[in-house]
Amino acid sequence: MSDLTHTQPFALRAESASEFASRAPDHVELMRELGVRPRPGWTSRLPPGLASFVTNGKGMAGVVILLVLVLMSAFAPLLSDYNPNRRAGKPHVQPGYEHVLGTTRLGKDVFTQLVYGGRVSLGVGLGAGAFAAVIGLALGISAGYFGGRVDDIITFFVNVVLVLPGLPLIIVIATMVEAASPMVIGLVLALTGWGWSARTIRTQTLSLRTREFVTSAELLGERKWRIILVEIFPNMLSFFVGGLVLGTIAAILAEAALEFIGLGDPNAVTWGTMLFWAQNNLALQSGAWWEVWPPCIAIMLTGAALVLINFAVDEITNPQLKASRKIGRIKRFLTRRGRGADVF
């Protein structure tokens, strides 16, 4: 997953595209043939980065899915009157009017557990992802910008974190604390998960440091923290978001896996512990599919949504990677016009 972010600057295609466009005889006809709709007005008023995100179908699909999951979790108390920790009915009641998604072997309401569980799973995942991304950003920029001794020391730690055996280490740490609550798991994941984003951001900062706008800011006597915040940080935003998204995926999956194998706190209601209980009480073998599928689907949907968002971020960082059907149309269009489509 570390290969998701790419760094090569891109200029060539944009130029050639505008060249073709200017030669086109009839703008409206061209747009129709290409299937391009005129940009809706409101997106053009957004900052360009955000605008390209909003117009990115994949990214928006991901955002919508994630938003639905987040809202369902946030408004859990409105969606269900049951207590996720208490028995709400008989064991293994089928989905129905009383229990939308049925009950678990212990008689807890699955839907209630799902929405309340989302609070913890999403919260811990996003929290750990954000924490790791912030550490990565801070260390990556510091190493890249200050260089020298600072860079040496930070790079050493980055490399150590990168070679640490992740999961076994997390298991050991989880057993050292008394109960591996979701918070603890999240913290451990954050503290061990910042290596890649630190490395990527350091590389990016190194290449930015010598650019004219940074040099000129330095010559103007700007303070270092201002240069970092105002000149460098905005350019790191997409890498930061990429790191955040990937870190969140990793944290959500790792938390679920740890809880699934029984290292979490089974008191906590999360998607991972729901799976743990379903597996332990042999839900599948007893035919209670409704105890297994909801947490599975929730985890998979979250993962899918985040991956879609990451796609969008990647495509904005590096528009060449865009895999829209439009490119296929442009290719066909160009071929019809007797031009080679090699540039793509």
Partner 1 sequence: MIFLARRLVFYFAAFVLAITFNFLIPRLMPGSPSDRIIASFQGRLSESQVAAIRRSYGFDGNLWEQYITYVQSVFRLDFGISTVQFPEPTAALLFYGAQWTLVLVGLAIFLAFFIGSFMGIHAAWNRGGFFDSFFTPINVMMNAFTPAIVALLLFYAFSLQLKWFPLGRAHDPNLMQNWFDLKFVGSVLYHATLPVLSILLVSFGGWHLGMRNVMINLLNEDFVVLARAKGLSENRIKYRYVARNAILPQITSLALSIGFMLGGALVVEQVFNYPGLGKFTFTAIGARDYSFIQGQLLLLTCSVLVANLVSDIANVMLDPRLRGR
Partner 2 sequence: MKMRTMTALGSLTLALALTAPVMAQEEVILRLLPAHTDAMVENYNPNSPGPGAQQRTRDFTYEPLWIDNVWHPGVSEEALAVSWEVGADLKSVTYKLREGVKWSDGEDFNADDVVFSFDYAKANPDYPMGIDVYNGESGNVTSAEKIDDYTVKFNLNEPDALARYGLNGLYPLPEHVWKDVTDPKTFANTTPVATGPWTAPRNFSRNGYDMCRNELFRGNADNAIDCLRFPQMNGNEQTVAAISAGDLDWLGDGLTDPDVTFLPQSEFNNYWLPAGSDVNLQLNTTKAPFNNLAFRQAISVATDRQTLLDISTFGLTTATKFPIGTGEMYSTWYDEAALAPYTWLMEYNPDKAKELLDGAGFVDKDGDGWRDNPDGTPISFGISMPSGWTDWVNSGQTVAENLQDIGINASLKTMDQGAWFDAVPRGDFDVYVMWTNGGPTPYNQYQPMFNPRLMVSGQIDFQSMHQLPIPAIVEALDKFKSTADLDAQKAALTDVHKLVAENVPVVSLFANPIWYEYSTRRFTGWVTEENPFVRPQVHDGNRERVLHALALKPIDGAKF
* Interacting residues toward partner 2 by CB under 8 A: 85-87, 91, 105-107, 174-175, 178-180, 262-267, 277, 280-282, 285-287
Bridge partners (DSSP) of residue 276 are none
The residue type at 80: S
Query: Is there a contact between 253 and 303 (Cβ–Cβ < 8 Å)?
Result: yes
Q: Which of residues 49-88 bind partner 1 (CB under 8 A)?
A: 58
Based on the shown chain and the rule CB under 8 A, indicate whether residue 106 belongs to the binding site for partner 1.
Answer: no
How many chain residues bind partner 1 (CB under 8 A)? 60
CB of 325 to partner 1, least distance (A): 5
Give the span between the Cα atoms of 313 and 237, in whole angstroms: 10
CB of 119 to partner 2, least distance (A): 18
Query: Is there a contact between 294 and 110 (Cβ–Cβ < 8 Å)?
Result: yes
Nearer to partner 1 by Cβ, of 231 and 314: the residue is 314
Binding test (CB under 8 A) with partner 1, winner from 118, 195, 311, 316: 311
Give the span between the Cα atoms of 10 and 191, in whole angstroms: 34
CB of 173 to partner 1, least distance (A): 9
Single out the residue of 81, 91, 201, 76 nearest to residue 140, CA to CA.
201
Nearer to partner 2 by Cβ, of 12 and 169: the residue is 169
Residues 157-180 as b/e (b if ≥16 CB within 10 A, e otherwise) read ebeebeeeebeeebbebbeeeeeb
The separation between CA 115 and the C-alpha centre of its own chain, rounded to angstroms, equals 20
Nearer to partner 1 by Cβ, of 54 and 65: the residue is 65
Give the span between the Cα atoms of 267 and 279, in whole angstroms: 15
Single out the residue of 318, 316, 157, 161 nearest to residue 247, CA to CA.
161
Based on the shown chain and the rule CB under 8 A, indicate whether residue 277 belongs to the binding site for partner 1.
Answer: no
Binding test (CB under 8 A) with partner 1, winner from 28, 78, 163, 220: 163
Residue 66 binding result from partner 1, partner 2, none, given CB thresholds of 5 to 8 Å by partner type: none
Q: Applying CB under 8 A, which residues contact partner 1? A: 1-4, 6, 8, 12-13, 58, 156, 159-160, 163, 165-169, 171-172, 175-176, 178, 249, 253, 256-257, 260-261, 275, 279, 284-285, 292, 296, 299-300, 302-304, 306-308, 311, 314, 318, 320-328, 330-331, 342-344
